Amino acid sequence: MKTIDELQEEVKKVLKRRRFIHSVGVRFTAQSMAMRFGVDLEKAGYAGILHDCAKNMSDAQLLMECKKNNIKCSKTEIAKPSLLHAKLGSFYAKKIYGITDEQVLSAIRWHTTGKPSMSNLEKIIYIADYIEPGRRELPHMTEIRKMAFMDLNRTMFLILDNTLSYLNELEQDRQDAIDSYTRDAYRFYKDLAQNQL
């Protein structure tokens, strides 16, 4: 099993510089959050550094790679192939980078859309991807960054709420590209947030 630092050197070779710096940002943000919430630091590091390992591809390449490796694509993914870098990333993490831990693979798998009932590691990677220090200032970023170290479920709600209101502003045909997992995740974490009040 390679160390996190060794894998970091490997993804450095395949990712564009900007994407690589983002991945390092996600690694350390995820590990900091893991300290706060009692999640395994190594798993957070592996998932963080590898989460975008399939992001260096065009839409056509993503579709082709999925086909070649028998990875099923939903209608939404065919309409918006960039979503596939999560599924394919999880596949590469196992096949190319030697990750066998199912929790790490699952955190990579769900980092783009989210889903209901995520594990703490899955939530941490999803959130770290959004808040890492290199991210440009998105709406409510200060509040979300602070909440990320207080309450994971509430942070999921804040991010999904932001993401969906942004996606809902797009024209109708692009709205069809909102993944059903994202909608389900939004409903799930919205209910949780409301039941907390």
Structure tokens that stand for 99 in this block: 């990750």
Nearest distance in Å: CB 132, Fe ion: 8
Q: Judged by CB under 5 A, how many residues of this single chain contact Fe ion?
A: 2
Nearest distance in Å: CB 82, Fe ion: 9
Residues in the chain: 197
Residues in contact with Fe ion, shown as a per-residue x/- string from 20 to 59 under the rule CB under 5 A: --------------------------------x-------
Rule CB under 5 A: say whether 132 interacts with Fe ion. no
SS3 19: helix
Nearest distance in Å: CB 195, Fe ion: 30
Nearest distance in Å: CB 111, Fe ion: 6
Smaller CB separation from Fe ion, 52 or 179: 52
Per CB under 5 A, the list member of 129, 144, 189, 193 interacting with Fe ion is 129
Q: What is the largest CA-CA distance in the chain?
A: 48
Distance, in Å, from the CA atom of 190 to the CA atom of 57, rounded to the nearest integer, reads: 33
- Residue 161's CB is within 10 A of a number of other CB atoms, namely 17
Integer Rg of the chain from CA = 16
Distance, in Å, from the CA atom of 57 to the CA atom of 14, rounded to the nearest integer, reads: 10
Asked if 23 and 49 touch (Cβ cutoff 8 Å), the reply is: yes
Structure tokens that stand for 130 in this block: 């959004």
Structure tokens that stand for 80 in this block: 């918006």
Stretch that binds Fe ion, among 10-18, 41-49, 56-64, 124-132 (CB under 5 A): 124-132
Smaller CB separation from Fe ion, 122 or 129: 129
Smaller CB separation from Fe ion, 113 or 193: 113
Stretch that binds Fe ion, among 3-11, 125-133, 141-149, 167-175 (CB under 5 A): 125-133
For residue 140, the surrounding DSSP H or E stretch is: none
Nearest distance in Å: CB 23, Fe ion: 7
Rule CB under 5 A: which residues touch Fe ion? 52, 129
